[in-house]
Chain A
């Protein structure tokens, strides 16, 4: 009896020692992170994101909150972990492990910029409800999953959105043979919505404004929406218009059996999101997106970017852009953590914005609209900062 008790006591003490070991181990890890971040020299942003009541312990956590080093991690790993939808034809469609789509092409563009290999991407399919947690926890490095940039997501979630890749708006899809011509007609209807999205919030607000009574049917994914729509359990389906176009093009009874109403309920800027506080990584993703837009503006595409320097020997802007600056600014470096010729890799490997759009979105029947260049014949809002 007595020996047993002593053993128990010893075990407890041992557990205590191990526990304290864990704690100090954690501290050590934190210390290393601090060192690493001071080397890369980016420590400002994160502390500011902590809310006022935490200011007391701000100094302790500021270094940890920096959370930098995504670029180093990705480079070391050799592949990019990209979070996508996987079910959305035109944006990211997973067909037995082969991914295609607009969002997928931006994942590939980042991989091309980093590794000169657009295929060095590991994709993760995420639902609307799991996507932000997956990014916060580091499961993916960048989230390109038609997620709308909003103030509260930017503020509360510890994420930040880079340059928008697709300017969208929420629309409503109905059966082609139904009597609905606008949202105001949709009294007493049931409307399918994906749960955990901004669309359910917009729908509620818009319908209240119109004074239309309806019932939402909230479903977790697109396949469920499709089956509910087919059995006529809902009269309408609402999501971003791009999503509706994609849904329509792959609908089992053919695209002509469905119709998208003219109403646009909201602004939906869709683009890549990264964890907040890692400016280096943010800049990488941001400038890869800008490169595709800038290339289109320069008239450079996957066919001619390799020879851009020889073709435009007098255009200093293009020479800087392709990483072969002319004599007068031969020592030009952007300071971004990207190779000087990253734009060549991106455009050569994946294409410029127009190519990406035409490859993925045009087949859905969506006009470019807002997604035109700022100086196009029908101007849109795509505008890249100068590369100098």
Chain B
């Protein structure tokens, strides 16, 4: 710096630094330059794309979104005459269904396996290790494909020879049908009543917690909450004259009526994604638990907490803080991996896109819409993760 400093001229007569040496001005200029550079690059790339599209005689517009999709969508009341945009909406809902249920299940299994890896019980520890080491080392595509071709299509019988356990389920390689609730009259009111019951249960739980804090009496808040909810639901159910009924699947030839159908492609995709992602989540959980200072666990044991209490009240709350960012990463991976469904015929956004491109929609625009949809999904998950992260962060001043 000395050499540089030697070349710095004395401040001008007015005592002010000239503009071109003013750090504040330069800082702004630099940022403007970067923004202009990035904008120029994007503009160039976009112009290049449009020019090339035109030179190959392709339209650079998004008009294909308004064209009819033309194909039935299994498991929805979509009509073939509806537009590609509507088909994408159905696909998006299906992607959300896989991602949502998948994230929930993968988290539950992942935490169980992760805790299991640190168990003192040899069998549990080794089983958990085996699970993790096997599944995370196989490509997820292979797992999904295996689930579909070998497990679902290979092991389950054809529809005409479906397995009907106790006469209430129909399992075949064409669909898994299970008993489910079916809406009757008054179902709207009943849903509202159930919602009220849920709120009442939460209020009661809060009350039990406050009371316990004040008096030291055991709170039993989960039992109280469930009791209140069950009471409200039962009263509502009787008062509204059975607003929901049980529907049981029954098969006649190839037709199955009643029950809830689980699409085989959906089942294969979900199971594949869940068991794969759970193996990664288990490692995140294990790492986070091990990152909690050893003294914390020893202290918990010293004050007489049981093994479960130690985990529930001392270790996991601290481990969660560390866990959130890598966990969010795994959720993003699961969501993005759901695009592999394209290989097994589950109807989600990637499949809609590839099929419309096969039937004359322009590929660059089709894929740009697809990327935008995945971006929206991923940013949504990141947003939630960041909010949770902020809430769990250790307060600092």
> Which B residues contact A (CB, under 8 angstroms)?
4, 23, 26-27, 29-30, 33-34, 36-37, 40-41, 44, 48, 51, 54-61, 64, 70-72, 74, 80, 149, 152-154, 158-159, 173-174, 253-255, 264-265, 342-345, 347, 351, 354-355, 357-363
User: Given the complex, which residues of B lie within 8 Å of A228, measured CB to CB?
Assistant: 153
**Set B36, B80, B152, B345: member contacting A218, Cβ < 8 A:** B345
User: Given the complex, which residues of A lie within 8 Å of B343, measured CB to CB?
Assistant: 220, 224
> Which A residues contact B (CB, under 8 angstroms)?
2-3, 5, 8-9, 12-13, 15-16, 19-20, 22-23, 26, 30, 46, 49-51, 53-54, 57, 61, 64-67, 128-129, 132-133, 136, 150, 152-153, 155-158, 187-190, 195-198, 200-201, 204-205, 208, 215-220, 224, 227-228, 231-235, 275-277
**Set A16, A128, A233: member contacting B264, Cβ < 8 A:** A233
Task: Give, as a whole number of angstroms, the nearest-CB distance from B173 to chain A.
Answer: 5
CB distance B56 to A67 under 8 Å? yes
Bound-state CA distance A22–B283 (Å) is 47
**Set B34, B44, B72, B344: member contacting A19, Cβ < 8 A:** B44
Question: What are the 3 closest A-B residue pairs judged by CB atoms, nearest first?
Answer: A196-B358, A158-B57, A232-B158
User: Given the complex, which residues of A lie within 8 Å of B51, measured CB to CB?
Assistant: 26, 30, 61, 64
- Given known A-B contacts A2-B4, A188-B255, A233-B158, A129 and B358 have beta carbons under 8 A apart: yes
**Between-chain CB contacts (< 8 Å), 10 pairs:** A26-B48, A46-B55, A65-B55, A187-B254, A215-B174, A217-B74, A217-B345, A231-B158, A233-B264, A276-B56
Bound-state CA distance A234–B175 (Å) is 11
The closest CB in chain A to the CB of B263 belongs to: A215
CB distance B70 to A201 under 8 Å? yes
CB distance A12 to B57 under 8 Å? no
**Set A49, A197, A205: member contacting B57, Cβ < 8 A:** A49
CB distance B173 to A233 under 8 Å? yes
Bound-state CA distance A277–B80 (Å) is 33
CB distance B149 to A12 under 8 Å? no
Bound-state CA distance A19–B43 (Å) is 11
Bound-state CA distance A129–B357 (Å) is 7
User: Given the complex, which residues of A lie within 8 Å of B4, measured CB to CB?
Assistant: 2-3
CB distance A157 to B58 under 8 Å? yes
Task: Give, as a whole number of angstroms, the nearest-CB distance from B261 to chain A.
Answer: 10
Bound-state CA distance A16–B38 (Å) is 9
**Set B27, B40, B59, B173: member contacting A51, Cβ < 8 A:** B59
Task: Give, as a whole number of angstroms, the nearest-CB distance from A166 to chain B.
Answer: 20
User: Given the complex, which residues of B lie within 8 Å of A132, measured CB to CB?
Assistant: 357-358, 360, 363
B23, B36, B70, most chain A CB atoms within 10 A: B70
Bound-state CA distance A132–B363 (Å) is 9
Bound-state CA distance A180–B16 (Å) is 94
User: Given the complex, which residues of B lie within 8 Å of A46, measured CB to CB?
Assistant: 55, 57
User: Given the complex, which residues of B lie within 8 Å of A54, measured CB to CB?
Assistant: 54, 59-60
- Given known A-B contacts A129-B357, A231-B158, A204 and B70 have beta carbons under 8 A apart: yes
CB distance A65 to B358 under 8 Å? no
CB distance B58 to A208 under 8 Å? no
**Set B44, B57, B358: member contacting A195, Cβ < 8 A:** B358
The closest CB in chain B to the CB of A178 belongs to: B160
- Given known A-B contacts A26-B48, A231-B173, A8 and B30 have beta carbons under 8 A apart: yes
Main secondary structure of the interface of B (DSSP, over half): helix
B74, B254, B345, B362, most chain A CB atoms within 10 A: B345
Given A15-B37, A220-B343, A231-B173, 6 more A-B residue pairs with CB atoms under 8 Å apart are A16-B33, A54-B54, A54-B59, A67-B57, A132-B360, A133-B357
User: Given the complex, which residues of A lie within 8 Å of B159, measured CB to CB?
Assistant: 190, 232
User: Given the complex, which residues of A lie within 8 Å of B71, measured CB to CB?
Assistant: 200-201, 204, 216
- Given known A-B contacts A12-B37, A65-B57, A227-B149, A195 and B30 have beta carbons under 8 A apart: no
User: Given the complex, which residues of A lie within 8 Å of B362, measured CB to CB?
Assistant: 156-157
CB distance B57 to A276 under 8 Å? yes
- Given known A-B contacts A23-B44, A67-B56, A215-B74, A129 and B153 have beta carbons under 8 A apart: no
CB distance B342 to A220 under 8 Å? yes
Task: Give, as a whole number of angstroms, the nearest-CB distance from B332 to chain A.
Answer: 25
Bound-state CA distance A13–B40 (Å) is 12
A3, A5, A156, most chain B CB atoms within 10 A: A156
User: Given the complex, which residues of A lie within 8 Å of B59, measured CB to CB?
Assistant: 51, 54, 156
- Given known A-B contacts A15-B37, A218-B355, A235-B254, A158 and B58 have beta carbons under 8 A apart: yes
The closest CB in chain A to the CB of B261 belongs to: A215
User: Given the complex, which residues of B lie within 8 Å of A232, measured CB to CB?
Assistant: 158-159, 173
User: Given the complex, which residues of B lie within 8 Å of A16, measured CB to CB?
Assistant: 33, 36-37, 40
- Given known A-B contacts A23-B44, A232-B158, A233-B158, A65 and B153 have beta carbons under 8 A apart: no
The closest CB in chain B to the CB of A48 belongs to: B57
User: Given the complex, which residues of A lie within 8 Å of B355, measured CB to CB?
Assistant: 129, 195-196, 200, 218
User: Given the complex, which residues of A lie within 8 Å of B361, measured CB to CB?
Assistant: 156
**Set B44, B154, B345: member contacting A231, Cβ < 8 A:** B154
User: Given the complex, which residues of A lie within 8 Å of B265, measured CB to CB?
Assistant: 217
Task: Give, as a whole number of angstroms, the nearest-CB distance from B145 to chain A.
Answer: 9
The closest CB in chain B to the CB of A218 belongs to: B345
User: Given the complex, which residues of A lie within 8 Å of B358, measured CB to CB?
Assistant: 128-129, 132, 195-197
User: Given the complex, which residues of B lie within 8 Å of A2, measured CB to CB?
Assistant: 4
